[in-house]
Amino acid sequence: MTSDSPRHLGRKLQLAVASLGPCGYAPIVPATAASAVLAAIYAGLPPIGPAIDGGVALATIILGVWAADLAEREWGHDARRIVIDEGAGMAVTLCGQPAGVATAVLAFFAFRFFDVVKPFPARRAEGLRGGFGVVADDVMAGVYANLAVRVAAWALARIGA
């Protein structure tokens, strides 16, 4: 396979998606770096609506499974460079949330917490094979984080903050 063949270019694209470009190559905590970059991007976006948020989350999950599947074969099981799963988890965390810096910061911390702690069934999902297993635990962490951000926003509104 030559370096300019369509198959080689497709493989390079798949690995670039898996690492979210340079994010997966951060010298320390690439998963946290990827989550922070995604939160910063979200903070700068105008409100786009829950339907588009949901579409972005679904597309990121599908791309994540596709890209992580090859990346695992290339780099090893859930290698540090694979951070598209954080992309999927952050997309789920931010799905349907109000736009803004405060939401993005809260979502970042909530997602990182649940991604590290991995409450049931996230830890079990992590053991699944291939790209699906790489992404599944982060999607579960994203669901928990999404709910936590909603509860925090509700609580802050109730106290008038």
Report yes or no on 150 lying in a domain.
yes
Structural domain boundaries, residue 138? 6-159
Report yes or no on 1 lying in a domain.
no
- What is the Cα gyration radius of the chain? 16
pLDDT score recorded for residue 2? 60
| 63 Cβ contact list (under 8 Å, min separation 6) | 17, 84
pLDDT score recorded for residue 121? 82
pLDDT score recorded for residue 158? 86
Report yes or no on 78 lying in a domain.
yes
| 64 Cβ contact list (under 8 Å, min separation 6) | 17, 18, 84, 85, 87, 88, 131, 134, 135
Q: How far apart are CA 105 and CA 90, in angstroms?
A: 11
Q: How far apart are CA 39 and CA 49, in angstroms?
A: 17
pLDDT score recorded for residue 68? 95
Distances from the Cα of 113 to the Cαs of 49, 53, 108, 141, 142, in angstroms? 26, 22, 9, 8, 10
The 10s digit of each residue's pLDDT in 4-53 is 677 777 888 899 999 999 999 999 999 999 999 999 999 988 888 889 99
Peptide bond into 6 cis (omega under 30): no
pLDDT score recorded for residue 39? 94
Number of structural domains, the chain?
Answer: 1
